[in-house]
Amino acid sequence: MVNASTQPGRDGLRMVIMGPPGAGKGTQSPRIKDTFCICHLATGDMLRAAVRAGTQIGKEAKKVMDAGGLVSDDIMVNLIKENLETNPECKRGFILDGFPRTVVQAEKLDDMLHARRQKLDKVVELQIDDALLVARITGRLIHPSSGRTYHSVFSPPKKTMVDDVTGEPLVQRSDDNAEALKTRLAAYHKQTVPVANYYKRQGLWRGVNADQPQEAVWANLAAIFAERK
């Protein structure tokens, strides 16, 4: 059990959660967010929110995306910085989900946090064999506005295709299929595994076996959060 006495630092927790698609980031991140009263910064959600709000960074990102390009590392870091400065939920810390994906991004993130006189407390990677992810991914259901995830077999909603909390419809991502997963896993291993090595050198990285029931994964996470920095 995680409680206030085990939180890393007086101001909560600043962490990155890593893992291949289907490893359980969308399941565990909201629980971490609620436990530590911090913000959950998922890259896709941040981008969509900034574009909807029409912020300066959102306008820059929309221009790039409308042209079919990839949003630059600098835009993403500035978007994170903007959230840290304006989102009240980020006052006690944050959990970054989907960023950094490359070593260059990790370095830019470190530079931004250093300028704010902050640093990461933990980097957790949810580890699972690629072969086990197909069944997880192909049955995954998502509540778009909150990011809550379900699974048609392993963790179904109380009512078919309906979010338990809001009653709104659930969706399945168009790329949640076996063929697309192979491409996404190849990209993950090529780009993101070096990021794990980067954080290992800093002594921040911890691995968690994600091929366990959700409560067992949470227990492993709780033990990591209870470690002294």
How do residues 118-169 score in pLDDT, each as one tens digit?
999 999 999 998 888 877 777 888 898 888 888 887 789 999 999 999 999 9
pLDDT > 50? residue 4: no
The mean pLDDT value for 176-202 works out to 87
147 annotated among ligand-binding-site residues:
no
Mean pLDDT over the full length of the chain: 88
Rounded Cα gap, residues 27 and 62, in angstroms: 28
Confidence of residue 229 (pLDDT cuts 50, 70, 90): low
Question: Which residue in the list 52, 63, 116, 173 is annotated as catalytic?
Answer: 173
Superfamily designation of domain 14-226: P-loop containing nucleotide triphosphate hydrolases (3.40.50.300)
pLDDT digits (tens, 9 = 90+) for 71-106: 899 999 999 999 999 999 999 999 999 899 999 999
Task: Give the SS3 label for residue 192.
Answer: coil
Active-site residue 101, yes or no?
yes
Active-site residue 140, yes or no?
yes
Q: Which residue has the higher pLDDT, 125 or 58?
A: 125
Task: Give the SS3 label for residue 100.
Answer: coil
Task: Give the SS3 label for residue 122.
Answer: strand
Confidence of residue 2 (pLDDT cuts 50, 70, 90): very low
150 annotated among ligand-binding-site residues:
yes
Q: Which residue has the higher pLDDT, 67 or 222?
A: 222
Q: Token pair of 163, please?
A: 């979010």
The mean pLDDT value for 44-56 works out to 88
Question: Which residue in the list 62, 81, 92, 101 is annotated as catalytic?
Answer: 101
As beta bridge partners, residue 42 has 97
The mean pLDDT value for 166-189 works out to 84
pLDDT value, residue 170: 94
Q: Domains of the chain: which residue ranges?
A: 14-226
pLDDT > 50? residue 9: no
62 annotated among ligand-binding-site residues:
no
Rounded Cα gap, residues 73 and 119, in angstroms: 18
pLDDT value, residue 29: 93
Confidence of residue 183 (pLDDT cuts 50, 70, 90): confident
Q: Token pair of 187, please?
A: 């990209």
48 annotated among ligand-binding-site residues:
yes
Active-site residue 31, yes or no?
no
Task: Give the SS3 label for residue 162.
Answer: strand
Is the distance from CB of 180 to CB of 141 less than 8 angstroms? no
Active-site residue 25, yes or no?
yes
pLDDT > 50? residue 3: no
pLDDT value, residue 7: 44
Given its phi and psi angles, is residue 82 left (phi above 0), alpha (psi -120 to 50 degrees) or beta? alpha
State residue 192 phi and psi, 5-degree precision.
-95, -30
As beta bridge partners, residue 123 has 16, 205
